[in-house]
Structure 1
Amino acid sequence: MYIILVYDIAEKRVSKMLRLCRQYLNWIQNSVFEGEITEVKLKELLCRAKEIMDKEADSIIIFKSRGEKWLEKEVVGKEKNELDNFL
């Protein structure tokens, strides 16, 4: 599946969450990530994220799609992290 993950984490935990999400997804900008991920890997990511989060103050939002081809992306302004899909 293809997901977009957005988090709102207190500043003192942001660097840990950033490092975690980069292990599973592509960083887009600030607290936004996207990419293909299996259901098992997503559950693993969320389990590890919950260990970092303060559930009373922090949040993660995940948008799911069958695949990237079902999602149209438009960037207005400077793209923070241009993904290069060429090998």
Structure 2
Amino acid sequence: MARLATDVHVKDPKTRLMVHLRAGEEPAPEYAELVKNPDAWEGGKLPTTTKSQADPSDEDDAQDDKPAAKRAARKPARGRNAAGEGASGE
């Protein structure tokens, strides 16, 4: 696995928290695929990850989750109907 040449911060896709990856480390494959800048890696090349290295359970979890914006877009917020009709509550 490749080593990092510089410190990098990435957002963990599961917890949505920022993770600090230090120079000289060999990050876990799920974090390594998040570092897209080749200058961050020793040798200036992005590491290659194969399907066998990736955890297949991560793919299933990603398909089940829907972004909050899509869930919220299904139904209008409360009060929109009254605002559209011009009812002022009197």
Measured against the shorter chain, the TM-score band is under 0.3
Q: Normalization by structure 1: what TM-score?
A: 0.25
Q: Which has the higher contact order (CA 8 A, sep 6+)?
A: 1
Task: Please identify which structure carries the higher strand content.
Answer: 1
- Report the TM-score when normalising by structure 2: 0.25
Largest Rg, 1 or 2 = 2
